[in-house]
Chain A
Amino acid sequence: MSEPVGTGMAAAGKRDGPPQAGGDAAASPLGLCLFGVYVLLYGGFMALVLVRPDLLALRPFGGVNLAIVYGMGLIASAFVLAVTYMLLRSGR
């Protein structure tokens, strides 16, 4: 295993190639909040699959069972959260 041959920005400064826009190398707090919301939704789905699969057979919406409604809801919520994030970040 080698020793570091340079550190931090000094090393980065030696680079060539495409122009880097730089920017913040940390995730945004807003993004982390929205990520938390999705984790709760995803975790809820996993908990149902593992602990109460009988509930997923219920048909609450147009004769379609909860397994499908929740699954499609997760896909839709990912998109809604993504658009929300993009709009809020663009507005800042």
Chain B
Amino acid sequence: MLHQTSLVAVAIFATFVLGVLGLSFFLGRKGQSAAGYYAAHGQIHWFVNGIAFAGDYLSAASFLGICGMIAFSGYDGFLYSIGFLAGWVVALFVIAEPIKALGKFTFADALDSRFNSRGIKLAVAISTLVVSIFYLIPQMVGAGSLIKPLLGLPHEAGVILVGVTVTLIVVTAGMVSTTWVQFIKGSLLVFFCGVLTVLILGRGLAVNASRSGTENLAPQVRTVRPDGTVLVDGVTQSREHDLRPVGTILRLPERFGDARSTGPLGPLEYLSALEDSTIVTWAAKKHVDADGAHTTFTPVERRGTDLLKPGGFFKGLTTGKLADRLDFVSLMLALFCGTASLPHILIRYYTVKDAAAARKSTVVGIAAIGVFYVLTLYLGLGAMTSGALDPTDTNMAAPLLAKTFSNTLFAIISAIAFTTVLGTVSGLIMAGSGAVAHDLVENVCGVQMTDHEKIRCGKLAAVGLGIVAMALGILFRNFNVSFLVGWAFNIAASANLPSLVMLLFWPRTTWQGIVAAVSAGMLSSLAWILLSADTFEKVYGLPREMALTPFSQPGLVTIPFGFLVLVVASLLTPAPSPRR
């Protein structure tokens, strides 16, 4: 769909971005050391760190991706919310305090704390970079999606704008500015999602599909011709002739009689009324011929009870096909295990002063993140029935929902979504920057650097990662961001969790075992993803049937494989010396 640029939106967006940059430059003027650049001197207050956890973690996938998935597929998007939050339980009860006690700047510090092995530093630094890059892709794709309706600029402009802004944030004041950007973003995100939810409940549900005729429920065809021109129902796309927005209620529950609107509803009433309503969702089917690529959007009348139970997106849950069910289990396992293995989350434990602060900040993080994930259900369902969805872009559901209330709210939500991307990407680039400068250059290559040189090296690495992130954000533009994040969680859980858990619970763990497990977990999950049906179809453009793996999400196989490799390699190598 073509979106009209709003001056208010541009003004609010510019205020947000300039505010964030101004804060970074202000913090960057203060004196810096390597400890300040990489870990904010370990002096961040636990409450600020807890909200910053939320700001770091609630990425474009959480905000844009989950809302979009719920809006288009129903309950299954909420399964992501459940899985994402469950991962924090692992982080709090198993990982938080040990990781704080073991490490200094990076995840590699923690895993290597008992061994001082270059092999561990190298393997973990590479895994940190791979996970961070996979996690960066959906953030940048989200940025590209947002910039189109907000500023009327192409996808590439959004990606470049985020890349440049984030690189500036990280380069100016490292972890200090990153923390504050994430704190501000986390606070704004939860607050304004709360506001949006109150507005959704206040509006209630309303019939917004034509009752008698089917004019606004006729199928729509979007064609992209070989020369790049876009047609809608055979006519060149323009503001006057564009795809119609979708997402409508056809019938309200009988208890509302002939009313076309329920009026304000309570949180439970809203869900109950939606379950008893009839909703129109839109199925997209693509085919390519000599005239171009055609996508046909067809309305599907569905009962609310069907949309609010599992199986809308994860088809295997309803068809019973074993491979599809294993794919789902694998994803949920990766979400559960992945959070506590994400390097950009783990390094946040080094920004507080002690284990108690690490624990408290995790609890604050769980509270903020939990509230947000409950709100995603209302945001997604509100978007599903808002009549404002862009059928070509699942990632725009939340901002377009806001637009149904007012252009100002749309601008604020879009700007917050953009800040969401900034906060998460800055955390990822910080983690990658530490992996390159602290782990690879200083510890693996043994380059002796002064404090100033360590910071400069980290900043150069941040610039390099920013450029890589921009390129990948443009390359993967057509993916749902939640789906892409699933891959990052799989790789993180497969590469990092086995070593982290075994280091804490199995004294026989050796440095060779850790190196082998990190390498095997990372490579096996990467290989699985590259050979999976989803990648064949969506990246290579090949038939799904050609894929070499039985299901797409690797975690179910590669996480246990990582544990197995660690145990075998540790048993085959000399036991570590007793700790002194």
Interface residues of A (CB under 8 A from B): 1-12, 15, 17-28, 31-32, 34-35, 38, 42, 45-46, 49-50, 53, 56-57, 59, 61-65, 67-68, 71-72, 74-76, 78-79, 81-83, 85-86, 89-90
A64 touching B275, Cβ below 8 Å: yes
B515–A6 touching, CB < 8 Å:
no
Listed by A's residue number, 14 A-B pairs whose Cβ atoms lie within 8 Å are A2-B122, A7-B577, A12-B113, A31-B97, A35-B90, A38-B86, A46-B329, A46-B332, A49-B310, A65-B308, A67-B309, A68-B271, A79-B370, A82-B362
List residues of chain B with CB under 8 Å of any chain A CB. 34-35, 39, 41-43, 75, 78-79, 81-82, 85-86, 88-90, 92-95, 97-98, 100-102, 104-105, 113-119, 122, 268-269, 271-272, 275-276, 305, 308-311, 317-318, 325, 328-329, 332, 336, 350, 353-356, 359-360, 362-363, 366-367, 370, 373-374, 377, 504-505, 511-512, 515, 576-577, 579-580
| Residues of the A chain whose Cβ atoms lie less than 8 Å from the Cβ of B41 | 18
- What separation, in Å, do the CA atoms of A4 and B121 have in the docked complex? 11
B75 pairs with A67, CB closer than 8 A: yes
CA distance A76 to B576 in the complex (A): 42
The 10 A-B pairs at the shortest CB distance, nearest first, are namely A63-B272, A21-B354, A11-B116, A2-B118, A31-B93, A35-B93, A18-B42, A62-B268, A23-B355, A6-B116
Chain A residues within 8 Å of B356, by CB = 89-90
Are B82 and A8 touching (Cβ within 8 A)? no
Given A1-B512, A4-B115, A17-B104, A72:B374 Cβ within 8 A: yes
For the complex, what is the distance from the CA of A42 to the CA of B579, rounded to whole Å? 36
CA distance A11 to B78 in the complex (A): 45
B353 touches A21 (CB 8 A): yes
Contacts of B350 in A (CB 8 A): 18
Q: Tell me whether B515 and A1 are in contact (CB under 8 A).
A: yes
Closest residue of B by beta carbon distance from A12? B113
Q: Which of A19, A21, A35, A86 contacts B100 (CB 8 A)?
A: A21
**When chains A and B are docked, how far (Å) is the Cα of A57 from the Cα of B355?**
43
**A65 to B274, alpha carbons, bound, how many Å?**
11
A38 to chain B, nearest CB (A): 5
Q: Which residues in A have their C-beta under 8 angstroms from that of B318?
A: 53
Q: Within the assembled complex, what's the spacing in Å between the Cα atoms of A74 and B88?
A: 12
